[in-house]
Structure 1
Amino acid sequence: MRVKSRWNYKEKEHTIPEIASALAFNAWRIGQQACLNLENEGFETTSQSQRLDVIAEFLAFLLHYLDRHVAERMPMEQRAELLQSFAGELARHMQDNRRDVEGPGDYKPAFIELLNARHDEYAEYAFDGDDPGFALRNTFGQHVAEVMGEHMRRWIPDQVEAIEVPEALAPFRRALRNLLPKQDKGDDAADTEGVATRPDPHSLQANNTED
């Protein structure tokens, strides 16, 4: 799938919020495509709300991947700002789409709570280099199966683990490669060998994601 992975003005120095906004735009499109892929494989959703639940799981996975990816590439302060801004932009997208589908309401707190919960959970699992390990991919697949429905539980984890994770990460990595600033690892960058060390996920606050 096509993603926005190039800046219009390459010579311009882009702020962390600008980078987070571009990454969130790409992540949302990736989540939409993943949901469509599942439906094309026969894993049907029954409502727009359920589609948003599936997209939310993919966004939580991509947020965690982003944190692990930049942990050795950014100083902690910059990394935390990126994660916070990215979460805020994702919450804005989710708020707008939930409101269109489900009517007026504040949908950000529940979404931020999901991001925090998944971020904590996925941090317990190892990466193999820059790739999420089997246990993390499998757990992610189980969460997607849960929102798709009990009758899907047997088959979806394998589909997500083997097919959807690589297809989601390929364009997201391309966006990261082209949108993130090129810099050396900061002195206070975290060590992510094995289990992640990352900014406190509870810094992802719904009240920092206003429209």
Structure 2
Amino acid sequence: MAVRIKSKWHHTKRKGNLRGGRKKTLEDRANVLAHNIWKIAFASYKHLEEEKFKFDTGPQITLALTEIVAFLIQVADRTVFGQINEEDRKTMVEVLGKQLAATIDDNLTELLGAGDYRKSFIDTLNQRFQSYAQCAYGDEGPEYSFLRLFGDSLAQAMAAANNKWVVEYVMEIEAPLALKLLYKTVAEVLGVKAPQLS
């Protein structure tokens, strides 16, 4: 999965540029992380499509993207746990949720017309965060229960289509590809240690 990750700041001193002006805040970094999470999630969706997994409708695509985003936010949160203080961690997750809700809303409004897509997205995020909180996450990243929940949730989002092997595929192939990109981004943007996947 080829995704161009933005993790470096522009180096000129033009007006409004962070290097030439103010120091990068946690919110600035979280916004960059949110942008990259969206790119990774969309690339994962496209990769699933290229592998002939079927998405029947726009809403089904939305549900799948929401599940991928929820997984990636939760992994980012678990990765920074213990490496940044709790207040900063809470701020990071809030900024990620709000920024990605706005991205989802913009994309769905363009695709499907006006609607309240943010609320549905945030509701799903909150439900998944409660579920992922029960799953194991170790030094090497998400453990079996975590990956299984992701695979099951994504398979459920794709239920209208005939996708017999999606859970196994997501757990064994898609999740590791997305995690490799996410860990690189989290480490570079937030300056924390992240698991190294080969």
**Same fold by TM-score, threshold 0.5 exceeded?**
yes
Matched, 1:124 2:126: no
Opposite residue 108 of structure 2, the aligned amino acid is R
String of CA shifts for 1:103-155, please: whole Å, max 9, x gaps.
11221111101111001101101112141001110111011111112554531
Partner of 1:166: 176
Opposite residue 13 of structure 1, the aligned amino acid is K
Matched, 1:23 2:25: no
Matched, 1:101 2:114: no
Contact between 1:54 and 1:148, CA under 8 Å: does it hold in 2? yes
Residues 132-211 of structure 1 mapped to structure 2, 5 A cutoff? 132-149=142-159, 152=162, 154-181=164-191
Contact between 2:79 and 2:141, CA under 8 Å: does it hold in 1? no
Matched, 1:34 2:36: no
Check 1:150–1:79 CA distance in 2 against 1; reply closer, same or farther (3 A cut): same
String of CA shifts for 1:76-125, please: whole Å, max 9, x gaps.
11111111111110101011011111111221111101111001101101
Could you state the TM-score of these two structures normalised by the residue count of structure 1?
0.81
Q: CA deviation at 1:73?
A: 0.6
Q: Quote the sequence identity (%).
A: 30
**Matched residues, number:** 183
Contact between 1:49 and 1:101, CA under 8 Å: does it hold in 2? no
> What is the root-mean-square deviation in Å for CA atoms of aligned residues?
1.8
Contact between 1:21 and 1:86, CA under 8 Å: does it hold in 2? yes
Highest relative contact order (Cα 8 Å, sep 6+), 1 or 2? 1
Q: CA deviation at 1:3?
A: 1.0
Could you state the TM-score of these two structures normalised by the residue count of structure 2?
0.86
For structure 2, the 5+ residue unaligned runs are 12-17, 194-198
CA distance in structure 2 between the partners assigned to 1:77 and 1:40 by the alignment: 40
